[in-house]
Amino acid sequence: MSDPPCTATSCGIYQITNKRTGRRYIGQTTQTFDTRWRYLKSQGRHSSRELQADWHELGSDAFEFEVLEVCPDDLSEEERYTWCNEREIAHIGGDWRIDDLYNDRPGGGNSPMSEEARRKLSETATGRTHTKETKKKMSKLKLGENNPNYGGLSDEHRQNISKSLTGKPKSEETKKKMSIAAKNRPKKPCQFCDRLISVSNHERHEKSCKHRPQSSPDAL
């Protein structure tokens, strides 16, 4: 099971290959390749029933994710959907019914959600709660290696996040919220310098506090 070579913002056309049978699924994503692949690994759910069935039978290690074509960065949301639809159809090709593909349609059916659809979806979800049984099942799906953050973030993933945030200015409203949040964090005084330190950083601060007495050689 391999992670997709991607940047923090890249999206476009991808391919999932069953390494045991060679059968492929060609799809598109307007999210990042990394997000699409991590969602599939963590949830194990896909729109292709046959791909999902093989995934559950063989496990995620039997599949490989490959980026086929990256969408240009300078497109609007509507242009991005159009580009992805056209390129997905081109990659699947006209013989999709006889080729050994998981795809059950020629592709190109993706479209941005209208404001009306977003509003209805929001209204439907408002106040909805999961049963204890459903929560238990959802929790099991994200345990261990199924969790997208299992083992911590990779160095590459950290670098991608850093690049995406570099040079990104914060609005005055965001700065104000961050300042208020910092002031409201619980604090306790350092035993060496009496400064008020946030609880989350307190232990680390005391270990490196410049007022901390140095241990004498005789004490070692």
Model confidence at 111, pLDDT cuts 50, 70, 90, reads low
The residues facing 13 across adjacent strands are 28, 69
Q: pLDDT grade, residue 153 (50/70/90)?
A: low
> Taking 60 as the threshold, does the pLDDT of residue 15 lie above it?
yes
Q: What is the pLDDT of residues 78-102, one digit of tens each?
A: 888 888 888 888 888 866 566 678 8
CA distances from 92 to 20, 102, 123, 198 (A): 21, 11, 36, 55
Residue 124 has pLDDT above 60, yes or no: no
- Which pLDDT does position 152 carry in this prediction? 59
Q: Which residue has the higher pLDDT, 47 or 142?
A: 47
Place of tokens 């086929």: 68
Mean pLDDT of the chain: 75
Instruction: Return the half-sphere exposure (C-beta side, CA atoms, 13 A cut-off) of residue 13.
Output: 18
**pLDDT above 60 for 187:** yes
Q: Where are the alpha helices (DSSP H) in 93-165?
A: 115-125, 132-141, 155-165
Q: Which residues pair with 25 in a beta bridge?
A: 16
CA Rg, the chain, in Å?
24
| pTM to 2 decimal places | 0.48
Q: Give pLDDT, residue 56.
A: 86
Q: Which of 126, 92, 122, 124 is nearest to 107 (CA)?
A: 92
**What is the reported pLDDT for 122?**
61
- What does the alpha-carbon distance between residue 95 and residue 93 come to, in Å, rounded to a whole number? 6
* Chain centre to alpha carbon of residue 30: 13
Query: Between these two residues, 71 and 1, which has the higher pLDDT value?
Result: 71
| pLDDT at 182 > cutoff 80 | no
Model confidence band, residue 6 (pLDDT cutoffs 50, 70, 90): very low
What pLDDT score was predicted for residue 17?
92
State the DSSP string of 12-74.
Answer: EEEEEEETTT--EEEEEESS-HHHHHHHHHHH---S-HHHHHHHHHH-GGGEEEEEEEEPPTT
Cβ-in-10-Å burial (0-12, 13-18, 19+) of 102 comes to buried
The larger pLDDT score, comparing residue 217 to residue 153, is at 153
HSE toward the beta carbon, residue 19, CA cutoff 13 A: 11
> Domain residues of the chain, as ranges?
1-126, 176-212
Length of the chain: 220
The tens digit of pLDDT for each residue in 30-81 reads: 888 888 888 777 766 677 888 888 888 888 889 999 999 999 888 888 888 8
**CATH code for 1-126?**
3.40.1440.10
Nearest by Cα to 65 from 98, 41, 97: 41
